[in-house]
Structure 1
Amino acid sequence: MLALCAALACAACAPGAAPRGAQAAKAYVSSESGGIAVIDLDRLDITSTLDTGGKGPRGIAISTDGRYLLAANKGTGDLTVIDTRDGQLARRIPIGKNPEFVRVSGGQAFVTYEPGEPGKAGDDAPVPAQIAVIDLKDWRVTRAIPSGLETEGIEFSPDARLLLVTNEGDDTVSVYERASGRRLNLIKTPPGSRPRGIKVSPDGQRYIVTLESASAFLVLDAADYHILRTVPTRSGPYGAAFDRAGKRLFVAASRADTIQVFDAGSYENIANIATGKRCWHFSFTPDDARLLIACGRSNAVYVVDARTYQPLREVAGVALSWGIVTYPKSPGTLDAP
């Protein structure tokens, strides 16, 4: 009996284990054609599609406690909030033109949007993007942080004090003080490289920045942001994520229809996983056993074994899939445990 109790306690504490009484682990996948597909991770089947009330959901995030799902709707310029307990639309929050990325940290959500992307602001100067900051207690936009051109990825420092974003339109990475929104640093990447994804290493020592047009990623020192390495990839790298242990780095080389796996110490390319078309974002499952890959031009989520890299399943029926997160939370391009 004692041995059985110990085994049960150990299982409850395993990586990604859901709290007692919680529902089965799920993945949420945004579809630019409309809606959020819900995948049961035990069955690897779509169990429902959630209505966002808006058009063109892309960026997606889930609250720390798993109660609320957030999605940025490109076509209607707002943020959808869905109660995951019943799948019902809780509210829609106006953001601005072309909202794209969403990240949740603590009691706040951060949403990138581009108020002047197709237009100009005096003297033909491009209008920079902004980052809306939303209080998750009263669901109010508390401020907007001016950013660079075409702001893409969002990441936080391990202590959550800093906010880092990639700006593909002006080839920079901006570093902000999260509490005040004050810009502390601006890191320039090679001209025309178009930085897109950004991910902090689990040990907090490095940031990875993917350069879509340079087919490479940068390794930045987290202390002073100097470039430690430039590592070549296959064509069009976008989303990046470390495994939970920080031993491997996964990069979506989207134009090459490949997820590349690198040793996170040496940056040696140790495996290449064939995928579908336009696979920008991916997530581990909560037990770290599988990789879930959203492939927009294949209208599917590809499932592969995260250790052997062998294909396991293709979950079809997610038209123009864009982002993917899980609950319990997992390492991925759009979230972290």
Structure 2
Amino acid sequence: MLNFPFARRTRISLLLLALVASVAACNKPADPASEAAAPAADNAAATSVAYVSTQDGGVDVIDLATMQVTKQLDVKAEGPRGLGVTDDGKKLIVATKENESISVIDTATGEVVQQINVGKNPEFVRVSGNYAYVSSEPSAKGGPPPKPGAKPEEEDDDDDDEKIPAKIAVVDLTKGEKIREITGGPETEGVEFSADGKQLVITNEADNTVTVHDIATGELLKTISTHEYGDRPRGIKVSPDGSTYLATLEFGNKFMVMDKDFNVVRTVDTAATPYGIAYDAKGDRIFVATNKAKLLQVFDAKTFEKIKDVPTGNRCWHFSFTPDNKNILLACGKSDAVFVIDADKLEVTKQVEVKNMPWGVVTFPKAMGSLENAK
């Protein structure tokens, strides 16, 4: 054994002790307090969420990892319906009926940062880049469809009101203001972008048309009458490959299939009063929410044969896939619930309580649904 001088042995011992302490520190579990101090924005970015508008309340936020409502956002107005999220997830845009505006919400804080007037009775919201497109229904009368064989109710004598054209408000989200309007038909409802992003496709309930507009100029490019197929067009959706457009005909109990040039190629029968419609992310299946029938119907996107009827709740209008495409979230207004449906088994697996008449649902990251398309 070597006999080092005492001072030298002491220095080596101290160095060894320091090395051992350093290794132990590296292997020590992270301090929970330090983890809690991580920026909230980072935690939020890592969490997939769904935003659910409620007509008699605000917006409920569902954590998609737990399928639980984690917070409720006050939109600072009454009658929230259509909603959309920006591509970066930082802003949520909500149409609020009673004050004729949209509320712009900071998703990190949950606070309304701006309210922008868009016109009477705003409904659908679609967001593309830094712009929001918001449909309105200035002459909306609503009401249930007539029973088969029944005489339609007499219309009001106010023909001028009935002919009020609807507008699609174009809102610059960077400037925080409405910059122009695109004129639609009376009671403009659903809004969709063409596959190339250059055109806006909208459904017009009151005159039973689907109209196609140039987004840059607002010019009307084409009008498709739905009356011979069914009345009151509502939902509108483009296929993931851009080759097909679908429009639900609420009073026809059908959806209409159009090619890429907006020529009607066929209709497909549905259960009573179809509304929200969407493809899955691959474009293999079509999903339709049928309000009166209380079903989410699933069709083969190539053959248009029905695959399955999924029983749901009361007044289920709009739905979205989750970002991982494993589940479908269906907002059922008069059931005060969001139904969670397994996208493969096509079975309801859970109901998430969402009170105050849930209307629409979108997610972030964005996913396919009746109000949104996946990015």
Q: Percent identity?
A: 47
Match runs of 1:190-229 below 5 Å: 190=227, 193-223=231-261, 225-229=262-266
1:165 and 2:188 are equivalent in the alignment: no
C-alpha displacement of 1:302: 0.3
C-alpha distance in 2, partners of 1:138/1:219? Answer: 37
**1:75 counterpart residue number:** 98
Are the structure 2 counterparts of residues 138 and 299 from structure 1 closer, same or farther at C-alpha, using a change threshold of 3 Å? same
What's the CA shift string for 1:26-61, capped at 9, x where partnerless?
A: 000000011100000000000000000010100010
**2:268 counterpart residue number:** 231
Aligned pair count reads 318
Greater shift after overlay, 35-44 or 139-148? 139-148
C-alpha displacement of 1:116: 4.2
C-alpha displacement of 1:107: 1.8
Matched letter for residue 287 of structure 1? D
1:254 and 2:254 are equivalent in the alignment: no
Greater shift after overlay, 238-247 or 92-101? 92-101
What residue ranges of structure 1 are gaps of 5+ in the alignment?
A: 1-18
Matched letter for residue 152 of structure 1? E
Secondary structure of 2:138 counterpart: coil
Secondary structure of 2:292 counterpart: helix
Quote the RMSD (CA, aligned, Å): 1.7
Matched letter for residue 267 of structure 1? F
Secondary structure of 2:282 counterpart: coil
Are the structure 2 counterparts of residues 21 and 283 from structure 1 closer, same or farther at C-alpha, using a change threshold of 3 Å? closer
**1:296 counterpart residue number:** 333
**2:308 counterpart residue number:** 271
**1:63 counterpart residue number:** 86
C-alpha displacement of 1:317: 3.0
8 Å Cα contact 1:153/1:166 also seen in 2: yes
C-alpha displacement of 1:123: 5.6
C-alpha distance in 2, partners of 1:120/1:62? Answer: 40
Query: Runs (4+) of structure 1 moved beyond 6 Å?
Result: 118-122
Matched letter for residue 76 of structure 1? N
8 Å Cα contact 2:103/2:112 also seen in 1: yes
8 Å Cα contact 1:250/1:260 also seen in 2: yes
1:138 and 2:175 are equivalent in the alignment: yes
C-alpha distance in 2, partners of 1:278/1:150? Answer: 20
Are the structure 2 counterparts of residues 203 and 42 from structure 1 closer, same or farther at C-alpha, using a change threshold of 3 Å? same
Are the structure 2 counterparts of residues 124 and 107 from structure 1 closer, same or farther at C-alpha, using a change threshold of 3 Å? closer
C-alpha distance in 2, partners of 1:120/1:163? Answer: 32
Are the structure 2 counterparts of residues 263 and 139 from structure 1 closer, same or farther at C-alpha, using a change threshold of 3 Å? same
8 Å Cα contact 1:197/1:209 also seen in 2: yes
**1:54 counterpart residue number:** 77
Pick the structure with more helix per residue: 2
